Amino acid sequence: MLFRHKALWLSAALFLSPAAGAQPIPVVPATPQPTIPGPGVLDIPPDHQRRYAECMKLARGEPLKALPLAEKWMSEGGGMGARHCVAIAMFQSGKYAQAAAQFEAIARDMGHERPGLRAELWAQAGQAWMEASAADKAAQAQSRALELKTDDPDLWVDRALSYAAMQSWQRAIADFDRAIRLRQDDVEVLVLRAAAWRNARDPGRALADAGRALSIAPDHTEALLERGFAYLARGTRDAANRDFERVLKLVPPNSAAARRAEAGLSGSLPVAPAPATPGAPPPAGGKR
């Protein structure tokens, strides 16, 4: 994979409007911020390999400085290596939609060669579209990746998160199902599917997935939170409170998980916002 293991993310559209006075509670559990792959992604001619490695290093560390240098290299005939470095620098500097378009163009221009690599480029495009708050375009790019690489559970999770951003819960659940079939007993994916079931208003199945996750990792705080919210949705307040209190013993005070547990103890259930609309701009104060 070009991405680090399970490099999942959530756009701002995946956060909930809480009940009055409560802290925001994510629709699905928070996941790590995306990272961008390092050098060695493309077949680079030997005389370009060193320049590609240097360009990629600069793109990850100082993207605003790297971008004009990469664009100059591209104009000088730097080929795929230069184009990929441009895309990475765009992504790292917050030009997500432009980066996504660049990743897609590289994948298309490769023709039918190296389907695995093209899948990774489409996956990168999907990641960039998600950061651009364009979940519909992310899902389209991820679908192209899955056409080329159906046995990658991370790609199924990526598209599921795009569907979750659009509140297309049944499609998200179907993709989480595929991921779990490929990587059974993955705690993080079980927790994500539990959240999707909760948002699909099926707390019974949410409870089952959260319970399965906790049978594998008893102190997994996101699983405890999801089970607590599932209990709360079913009206089993005492059981819910036990899970929320357990979370408060496991996490630092004032952490995001602690605030969510406190909201649960107050009886606040997550309330989903309006679904992400195609091409919606990032929320005020978000990364652009």
pLDDT, tens only, 89-104: 999 999 999 999 999 9
Asked if the structure places residue 203 within a domain, the reply is: yes
In a domain, 31, yes or no: no
Residue 103 lies in a domain: no
Q: What is the pTM of this model?
A: 0.82
Number of domains in the chain: 1
Name the band, by pLDDT with cuts 50, 70 and 90, for residue 282.
very low
Q: Burial level of 141, CB count in 10 A (0-12/13-18/19+)?
A: buried
Please state, in angstroms and rounded to a whole number, the distance separating the CA atoms of residues 92 and 90: 6
CB 242 within 8 A of CB 227: no
Residue 251 belongs to some domain of the structure:
yes
Question: Do the domain assignments include residue 66?
Answer: no
pLDDT band per the 50, 70, 90 thresholds, residue 42: low
DSSP tag of 13: G
What distance in Å separates the CA atoms of residue 80 and residue 19, rounded to the nearest whole number? 49
Question: Taking a C-beta distance cutoff of 8 angstroms, is the pair 246, 224 a contact?
Answer: yes
Q: What span, in angstroms and rounded, lies between the C-alpha atoms of 132 and 147?
A: 23
- In DSSP terms, 15 is beta-bridged to 26
State the chain's mean pLDDT as an integer: 84
Q: By three-state DSSP, how is residue 134 classified? A: coil
Q: Where does the pLDDT of residue 47 fall: very low under 50, low under 70, confident under 90, or very high at 90 and above?
A: confident
Q: So what's the pLDDT on residue 112?
A: 86
- CB neighbour list of residue 281: distance below 8 Å, 6 or more residues apart: 133
**Per-residue pLDDT for 216 more than 70?**
yes
Helices 63-75 and 79-92, packing angle to 10 deg: 160
Q: What is the pLDDT of residue 49?
A: 86
pLDDT at res. 30: 47
Which pLDDT score, from 0 to 100, does residue 18 have? 35
**Amino acid code (one letter) for 25:** I
- Provide the pLDDT for residue 55: 93
Say if residue 63's pLDDT is above 60: yes
Render pLDDT for 224-281 as a digit per residue (tens, 0 to 9).
999 999 999 999 999 999 999 999 999 999 999 999 999 999 999 876 655 555 544 4
Positive or negative torsion for Cα 165, 169, 170, 174: positive
Q: Has residue 127 been placed in a domain?
A: no
- Model pLDDT, residue 194: 97
Has residue 186 got a pLDDT over 70? yes
Instruction: Give the domain extent around 250.
Output: 186-269
Examine the pLDDT at 120 and tell me if it is beyond 70: yes
> Which of the residue ranges 31-45, 63-77, 94-108, 177-191 would you say has the lowest mean pLDDT?
31-45
For 154-167, write each residue's pLDDT tens digit. Answer: 999 999 999 999 99
Q: How many CA atoms does the CB half-sphere of 69 hold within 13 Å? A: 16
What is the CATH number for 260? 1.25.40.10
> Would residue 213 count as lying in a domain?
yes
Please say whether the beta carbons of 240 and 281 come within 8 A: no
Q: Is residue 158 part of a domain?
A: no
